[in-house]
Chain A
Amino acid sequence: MKGDYREPNVLPGFGITLGFTTFFLCAIVLLPLSALVLKAAGMDFARFIEVITSPRAVASYRLSFGAAMLAAGVNMVFGFAIAWTLTRYDFPGRKIIDAIIDMPFALPTAVSGIALTTVFAANGWIGQYLEPMGIKVAYTWLGITVALTLIGMPFVVRTVQPALAEVQRDLEDAAETLGAGRFYVFRRIIVPTVMPALLTGFTLAFARAVGEYGSVIFIAGNMPMKTEITPLLIVIRLEEFDYAGAAALGCVMLAISFVMLLAINLLQVWGRQRMTVRR
């Protein structure tokens, strides 16, 4: 079978399923995405640079990146605590908690947006206690971070959970028998084992948060230069019928997506290699 690109197999339907998959993929995903790239490529290069480096665009990148980074960082800490609690401890309601972790996957972003705004507004259930302390959440960058934390949370918990379950307990026992303290065991055995998963979860949460729109626009206040995220700026450009401007910013977002996808793949390869060396 030299020169053949697939290995022999008695099962039928390879040609037709591959053809259908490729066709559907091209029609729904690749053709529209190339329309975006070509639209931006058709722009005058100087104009393209001008659009994507305008002060308003740069302010929006800073906000989108900063808030997404912060939210993913918060999720790394709390996501680890939640994953730890769920895998190591038993307490009443653990199974229910485990099930509702996935809520942000299933809950429409518009719903979480208006719900978070209601809770964190100055007169909301939680906002009323933060307001006297001088902490304003709704309609500030802090609110954006809260919304991005919510939608990124399950990504971290769900990647760290299986990794924590795989930590070899006998290693921990051995270390403790040999006199290691609990913190030493945590630092030298548990953290190295779950690190790839923790970083993957961080990247997944960040990738999701940086492009998020629905849950943010309700709580953000949407002030240009201050609380305006990049996806919102794209929508505004579209509403002004500035298609080229929207496409240019869309290309920046798409480039970020590609970088994130690459980072996730590399992290997973790294994690797998570490696991195989370990055994």
Chain B
Amino acid sequence: MAGPSTSAELAAELASRPGHTNLRSTLVRWLLIGISLSFLGALLAAPLFAVFATAISKGWAAYFQSFADPDTRAAIRLTLTTAAIVVPLNTVFGITAAWCIGKFEFKGKSFLITLIDLPLAVSPVVSGLIYVLLFGLNGWFGAWLQEHDISIVYALPGIVLATMFVTFPYVARELVPLMQQLGNDEEEAAITLGAGGWFTFFRVTLPRIRWGLVYCVILCNARAMGEFGAVSVVSGNIRGLTTTMPLHIEILYNEYNFVGAFAVASMLSMLAVVTLIIKTLVERSGYRRR
């Protein structure tokens, strides 16, 4: 698109047009900015500040004290473990799917893309429910699992599976359009010149998709660490054992331990803020989201 690209230029252009510097347009402009900012302030900024304000409402000592609680520490550990398993697996899946869908033309491709996107449309509670139906005591594999003394539901594997389901499409849906847009020319050149498949991927493809990869991996990680509904259904809420950070927040909150609940919430909020900062930096580096 030709024409002004930054909003400053836009504003300048707008102001230079006849009929655009009148009082009414200025009023409309500030009214719209005011409406937008108050909407975001009430819905986004106020709750976010409330998290930190409540967390330190009894002083910094109480704030840090809440992280000394062994159950809270166990929850943090479980969340980190889950993310450490889920994010790499989904990244590998996403890259594989993007290579297959982005580099080749085959029948049923758009159907495959729809299936990969499916978890985004499914309610988190249903995402947890399906694993209970599959691996729970009365589920398909329930009896067999019990016979072999393997626990999936109400244990780490169930939490990992439910988190994986929820974050399943994140990497793939970012990388597929990116790889399609970049085209095959450079990879074809590399292969024709005698490079192997892995060499081509690591030396030609990976450097070109690295910003897109960072972008979707951090979003996948934020979602994996923060998932509540799906994990809540499969975890069984055994305190200190199968409670991730979001579930632990619920327990503390329902016990009216607001400082504790909001202290854990403040950690997850900081994770969200850091995620957004990295995301913005990636966008500044020239990466454009499609």
Contacts and interface: CB of A to CB of B under 8 A. Distances in A.
Given A13-B197, A103-B48, A146-B43, A110 B114 contact: no
Main secondary structure of the interface of A (DSSP, over half): helix
Contacts of B271: 106
Interface in A195-217: 207, 210-214
Main secondary structure of the interface of B (DSSP, over half): helix
B126 A35 contact: no
Nearest to B280: A99
Contact of A119 (B47, B131, B132, B227): B47
Interface stretch (A43-51, A82-90, A270-278): A82-90
Contacts of B42: 119, 126
A170 B1 CA distance: 11
Contacts of B105: 6-7, 9
B105 to A, nearest CB: 4
Contacts of B150: none
B114 A261 contact: yes
A35 B134 contact: yes
A107 B233 CA distance: 20
Interface residues of B, number: 104
B23 to A, nearest CB: 13
B121 A260 contact: yes
Interface stretch (B60-68, B206-214, B246-254): B246-254
Contacts of B1: 165-166
B143 interface: no
Given A108-B227, A110-B249, A111-B249, A100 B122 contact: no
B124 A115 contact: no
B33 A85 contact: yes
B194 to A, nearest CB: 12
A24 B279 contact: no
A35 B46 contact: no
B178 interface: no
B268 to A, nearest CB: 5
A28 B161 contact: yes
A265 B114 contact: yes
Contacts of B246: 108-111, 214
A184 interface: no
Contacts of A234: 125-126, 129
Nearest to A258: B121
Nearest to B201: A13
Given A32-B165, A112-B47, A213-B124, A90 B96 contact: no
B126 A106 contact: no
Contacts of A22: 112
A65 interface: no
Contacts of B145: none
Nearest to A36: B130
Interface string B156-182: 000001001100100000000000000
Interface residues of A, number: 95
A38 B280 CA distance: 44
A63 interface: no
Contacts of B123: 210-213, 231, 253, 257
Contacts of B112: 21-22, 25
Interface string B121-155: 11111100111111010111000000000000000
Contact of A13 (B7, B99, B164): B99
A89 B33 contact: yes
Interface in B27-60: 29, 32-33, 35-37, 39-40, 42-48, 50-51, 54
A90 B11 contact: yes
Interface of B: 1, 3-4, 7-8, 10-11, 14, 17, 19, 25, 29, 32-33, 35-37, 39-40, 42-48, 50-51, 54, 93, 96-97, 99-101, 103-108, 112, 114-119, 121-126, 129-134, 136, 138-140, 161, 164-165, 168, 184, 187-188, 191-192, 197, 200, 219, 222-223, 225-229, 232-233, 245-247, 249-250, 253, 261-262, 265, 268-269, 271-273, 275-277, 279-280
9 contacts: A12-B191, A12-B200, A18-B104, A20-B96, A35-B139, A107-B269, A110-B249, A114-B249, A250-B125
Given A211-B126, A213-B123, 10 more contacts: A13-B100, A24-B93, A29-B118, A32-B130, A94-B7, A115-B51, A210-B123, A211-B122, A213-B232, A261-B118
